[in-house]
């Protein structure tokens, strides 16, 4: 595992210097949550798309009931979105581990798939990244056997009711080719290529023994997270033109109810209370790591138990702050990585288990949350936005609606 450079930390908005200075680190109530999946059995009708890499198989299984508007004075659900950047199975078993966890607790998640994870390295010259050499990638390419595993787990994820978004391709966070400098046209090229790698994996890999991904990716794709949370301003015009409904690339947000930017729901990772510190930390495993082991993903092992407990407490502290006050949605970002002995994977698992059975909690994907937002009365949402982090409505939810 390569060390985290100071430049990479700054690209994620974390920065050891900011942490040392105490700054913030940064990378309807009705119906049940997304139903527990049964493993995604046989699909009745399969209509191949293109070369057969993907297929139209009808409505996605295990979706929650159609959302309804929140009534004035009604307590909002507590939405929690667990999301995964890259979503590649690299042989560590983390992708299937969290599919099982979600299944066991009736949770839906969002998997931001990196398009290059479905492109063999032998075909890397197919990728022409904006402002970078042909075939370049700051996250490398997966081995062929890991491409196969990723395809199987992405397929299962969709059948289990999860969302497949995009984390684009080459993950460029520094230098002249950084996504921070890309234009709307650069983003369109990157999106078109990411989509092509997902919809053309059969041609690119030559795999003939795997079933197609059971969705039309061009219809499925409605949101994203950019590498290192950079470049959102230039991405949004393209996202809007493509009909995307949300973006989760803001470089940091607060635990408040969201707004739209340029017609697209802005759903950022959020600053959460960081136990033992006077500052807050962004709600992502990498950012917690950067404030614990600083410039390495393999810190001193003796610190792992304390860091694991601190990471778990960070997620649960943010959850409680929202759940007991303004009910703002909680967004948590992750990677399928075993940084610092896998403690962040253990922390997010423990946090999900603790949240799952609480009253009014909805463990949903970004798309499912966006579905709920889109049917709400704008006046009701405006009222929710008046509540700051940790601020409960004075006199209760009925008083909030009466003041609108």
Structure confidence by residue, pLDDT tens digits, 162-175: 999 999 999 999 99
C-alpha–C-alpha distance, residues 224 and 261, integer Å? 14
**Using 50, 70 and 90 to split pLDDT, how confident is the model at 161?**
very high
> If you average pLDDT over residues 67-77, what whole number do you get?
94
**Using 50, 70 and 90 to split pLDDT, how confident is the model at 18?**
very low
Q: How far is CA 103 from CA 77, 98, 156, 211, in A?
A: 21, 8, 11, 21
Query: What is the per-residue pLDDT for 44?
Result: 62
C-alpha–C-alpha distance, residues 188 and 184, integer Å? 6
Structure confidence by residue, pLDDT tens digits, 243-258: 999 999 998 899 999 9
C-alpha–C-alpha distance, residues 399 and 387, integer Å? 13
Cα atoms in the Cβ-side hemisphere of radius 13 Å centred on 304:
15
Q: Which domains does the chain have, with CATH numbers?
A: 59-402 (3.20.20.370)
C-beta of residue 271 within 8 angstroms of C-beta of residue 254: yes
C-alpha–C-alpha distance, residues 265 and 119, integer Å? 30
Structure confidence by residue, pLDDT tens digits, 199-243: 999 999 999 999 999 999 999 999 999 999 999 999 999 999 999
Distance of CA 237 to the CA centre of its chain: 20
Structure confidence by residue, pLDDT tens digits, 331-386: 999 999 999 999 999 999 999 999 999 999 999 999 999 999 999 999 999 999 99
Query: What is the per-residue pLDDT for 67?
Result: 98
């Amino acid at each position: 595992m390569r060390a985290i450079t100071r430049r990479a930390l700054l690209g994620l908005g974390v920065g050891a210097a900011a942490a040392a200075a105490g700054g913030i680190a940064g990378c309807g109530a009705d119906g049940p949550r997304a139903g527990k999946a049964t493993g995604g059995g046989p699909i009745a009708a399969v209509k191949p798309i293109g070369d057969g890499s993907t297929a139209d198989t009808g409505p996605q299984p295990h979706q929650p009931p159609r959302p309804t508007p929140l009534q004035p004075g009604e307590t909002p659900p507590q939405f929690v979105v667990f999301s995964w950047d890259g979503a590649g199975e690299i042989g560590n078993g983390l992708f299937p581990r969290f599919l099982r966890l979600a299944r066991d607790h009736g949770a839906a998640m969002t998997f931001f798939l990196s398009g290059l994870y479905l492109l063999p390295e032998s075909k890397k010259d197919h990728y022409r990244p904006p402002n970078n050499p042909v075939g370049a990638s700051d996250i490398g390419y997966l081995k062929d056997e890991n491409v196969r595993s990723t395809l199987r787990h992405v397929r299962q994820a969709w059948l289990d009711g999860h969302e497949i978004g995009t984390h684009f391709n080459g993950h460029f966070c520094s230098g002249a080719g950084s996504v921070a400098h890309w234009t709307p046209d650069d983003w369109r090229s990157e999106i078109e290529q990411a989509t092509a790698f997902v919809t053309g994996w059969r041609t690119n890999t030559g795999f003939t023994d795997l079933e197609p991904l059971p969705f039309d990716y061009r219809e499925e794709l409605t949101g994203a997270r950019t590498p290192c949370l950079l470049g959102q301003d230039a991405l949004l015009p393209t996202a809007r033109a493509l009909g995307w409904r949300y973006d989760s690339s803001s470089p940091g947000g607060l635990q408040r109810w969201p707004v739209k930017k340029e017609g697209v729901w802005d759903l950022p990772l959020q600053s959460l209370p960081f136990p033992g510190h006077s500052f807050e930390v962004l709600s992502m495993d990498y950012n917690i790591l950067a404030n614990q082991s600083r410039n390495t993903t393999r810190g001193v092992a003796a610190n792992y138990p304390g860091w694991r407990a601190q990471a778990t407490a960070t997620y649960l502290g943010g959850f409680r702050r929202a759940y007991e006050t303004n009910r703002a949605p909680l967004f948590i970002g992750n990677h399928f990585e075993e940084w610092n002995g896998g403690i962040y994977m253990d922390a997010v698992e423990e946090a999900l288990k603790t949240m799952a059975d609480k009253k009014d909690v909805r463990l949903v994907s970004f798309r499912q949350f966006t579905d709920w937002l889109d049917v709400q009365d704008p006046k009701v949402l405006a009222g929710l936005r008046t509540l700051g982090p940790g601020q409960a409505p004075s006199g209760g939810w009925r008083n909030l609606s009466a003041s609108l």
